[in-house]
Amino acid sequence: MAGHPGRRFATRQYPCEKCPLRALDTFRDFEKQELEFVSEFKTGELAVDKGSTVLVEGNHSAHLYTVLSGWGFRYKLLPDGRRQILNFIMPGDMIGLQGSLLGEMQHSVEALSPMLLCVFERENLFELYRKHPGLAFDITWIGSREERMLDENLLSLGRRTALERAAYLLAFIHGRMESVGLNTGKPVEVPISQQHIADTLGLSLVHTNKTIRKLSDRKLITWRDRGCEIIDLSGLMHLAGWEGLNESRRPLI
Amino acid sequence: MAGHPGRRFATRQYPCEKCPLRALDTFRDFEKQELEFVSEFKTGELAVDKGSTVLVEGNHSAHLYTVLSGWGFRYKLLPDGRRQILNFIMPGDMIGLQGSLLGEMQHSVEALSPMLLCVFERENLFELYRKHPGLAFDITWIGSREERMLDENLLSLGRRTALERAAYLLAFIHGRMESVGLNTGKPVEVPISQQHIADTLGLSLVHTNKTIRKLSDRKLITWRDRGCEIIDLSGLMHLAGWEGLNESRRPLI
DNA sequence: CGCGGTTTTGAGAATCCTCAAAACCAGTGG
DNA sequence: CCACTGGTTTTGAGGATTCTCAAAACCGCG
């Protein structure tokens, strides 16, 4: 993998005990033993450039990752190239679990910004299950959380109008950013283009643009150079008929 | 729960060792110990009538179920009543996992036919994780499988045309039925109405009807009283640009 | 200044929706 | 046996939404 364009292995900078993410109170506290195991489970760090593909549909990846920093997204393609973004990936999220369990990856992952990933070996996963049932439980938990997000997305694509969909998505992203402390500056830096939004909402680029404009006109958001600022969060949520994520503290592996 | 309309606890008819589902070669073989544990983990059976609601959004269910027989579906509602069906549930599927792990259920489950469910206690789940890492792994696996199906569904709603979506859905259902031996008779008995299909595809009832008609005209399927017969499976798959489920043998808990 | 990526605008066309009514069909009770 | 009922499927028609095509505007960057 050395010299592979777009990715490089970094020397390990973040021992798990000093993981900057773990300090956030979104994440549950870990036992000392658990932390030690995770630290051992982690075999390295991987840095990927913006725009590079982390995981490819059809591959059998030997790795499992947790995002330390940066943004990405999961997507699938139809044979003729139509793309559907399935979900966004943010710090604390795990990627590659499907591939690790089910064998072949059935979706791809691309980096929206430079990303730093913790690397785990697929073949050590079962050891985690044997030695640390609590961590095993956490992994199932993480999978269920993803499933819940997909359920909500499915509701959106199937039954919300374009305007409601956009409102939901922006509120959803905002909520997730907030939970991992990414909304420090007021104008939230979201490194996604309207094309990404279109591919998430299942709309064309043109119509997405007009829809975003409507949200702007209604003073719910403002769109500024590749990013949007949420002006009226509860307005967005009300428009979308969405209650918010209300997540409890979650595990970080 | 006694006397609750639409549901009744049956005396236990199926010891896990003689589970009729387990005989199917879709399911992986279990160790004797595993089987014993599952048998103990299972606290009863629940029979629900067609049309009754098994799990309700917003509830904190204390139970986890595996479907022994019958059909159902998971769905979510918007505040104004619009319904989105997330996935169908067939024998061998687990339901209530999200609720067991994450707390509150964020979707509901309704029976499409009389269903027989194996009942497990949520509070015993962690014991399974402690004593049987293999089974714990299986549960994560089952969750990942659901996630993969949702990914494909999301691709469908977002990027496939109405006709492609319908083709995909029918091929998908056919494939799942086949894997659990439900396609014995030629005219596959699918207990779903066009309203269900509409709510799965994110289309209106009227347009769904016209779309199904098109598939009929193309000699890919025939629709006959509340059910459809697949005439040209590979034609459907080709139209949808779908490769099939290709699942390996899976666990049954 | 020119280039590539992104956003914006306009316009006609295709898709999909809603409304409304009819047809069909299985089951029920008279 | 027949009429009635409720659920499902079918059909037609006009209208709203969303799409595609095409071009312009904008913007950071070399």
Task: Provide φ and ψ at A84, rounded to 5°.
Answer: -120, 120
* Domain ranges within chain A, ordered by starting residue: 7-135, 152-240
Give me the pLDDT at residue A1, please: 43
Q: Report the sign of the C-alpha dihedral through residues B52, B56, B59, B65, in that order.
A: positive
Give me the pLDDT at residue B193, please: 95
Q: What is the distance in angstroms between the Cα of B240 and the nearest Cα belonging to chain A?
A: 9
**CA A214 / C1′ C9 distance in Å:** 14
Chain A CA closest to residue B153? A154
Overall average pLDDT of the B2-8 stretch: 57
**CA B177 / C1′ C20 distance in Å:** 37
- Cβ of residue A141 lies below 7 Å from strand C: no
Return the percentage of chain B with pLDDT > 90, whole number.
84
The band of B1, judged by pLDDT with boundaries at 50, 70 and 90, is very low
Distance CA(B175)–CA(B172), nearest Å, equals 5
> Which residue has 């997204």 as its token pair?
A73
Per-residue pLDDT tens over the stretch A94-137: 999 999 999 999 999 999 999 999 999 999 999 999 999 999 99
SS3 call for B201: helix
Question: Could B76 and A151 be called an inter-chain contact, meaning their C-beta atoms sit closer than 8 Å?
Answer: yes
Residues of B within 8 A of A153 (CB-CB) are: 154
Question: Could B150 and A152 be called an inter-chain contact, meaning their C-beta atoms sit closer than 8 Å?
Answer: no
Instruction: Report the CATH fold assignment for B152-240.
Output: Arc Repressor Mutant, subunit A (1.10.10)
Overall average pLDDT of the B118-125 stretch: 96
Question: Could A101 and B241 be called an inter-chain contact, meaning their C-beta atoms sit closer than 8 Å?
Answer: no
pTM score of the predicted model: 0.95
Q: Which residue is nearest to nucleotide D27 (CA to C1')?
A: A225
Distance CA(A38)–CA(A16), nearest Å, equals 7
- Cβ of residue B166 lies below 7 Å from strand C: no
Residues forming beta bridges with residue A94, ordered by sequence position: A66
**CA B77 / C1′ D3 distance in Å:** 38
Pick from A132, A138, A155 the residue to mutate for testing the B interface (most B CBs within 10 Å). Answer: A155
Residues forming beta bridges with residue A65, ordered by sequence position: A95, A119
Distance CA(B219)–CA(A27), nearest Å, equals 54
Question: Could A143 and B145 be called an inter-chain contact, meaning their C-beta atoms sit closer than 8 Å?
Answer: no
Per-residue pLDDT tens over the stretch A189-233: 678 999 999 999 999 999 999 999 999 999 999 998 667 889 999
Give me the pLDDT at residue A2, please: 42
Q: Report the amino acid identity of residue B140.
A: T
Q: Report the amino acid identity of residue A90.
A: M
Residue B245: CB atoms within 10 A of its CB come to: 16
Give me the pLDDT at residue A13, please: 67
Distance CA(B30)–CA(A102), nearest Å, equals 18
Give me the pLDDT at residue B3, please: 45
- Cβ of residue A173 lies below 7 Å from strand D: no
Which range (B79-83, B104-108, B171-175, B189-193) has the least confidence?
A: B189-193
Across chain B, mean pLDDT equals 92
- Cβ of residue B82 lies below 7 Å from strand C: no
Bases of chain D below 7 A from a protein C-beta are 7-13, 17-22, 27-28
**CA A139 / C1′ C19 distance in Å:** 49
Given a cut of 90, whether residue B249 has pLDDT beyond it is: yes
Return the closest nucleotide (C1') to the Cα of A208.
Answer: D18
Given a cut of 80, whether residue B127 has pLDDT beyond it is: yes
CATH classification for the domain delimited by B7-135, as one of 1.20.1090.10, 3.30.300.130, 3.40.50.1980, 2.60.120.10: 2.60.120.10
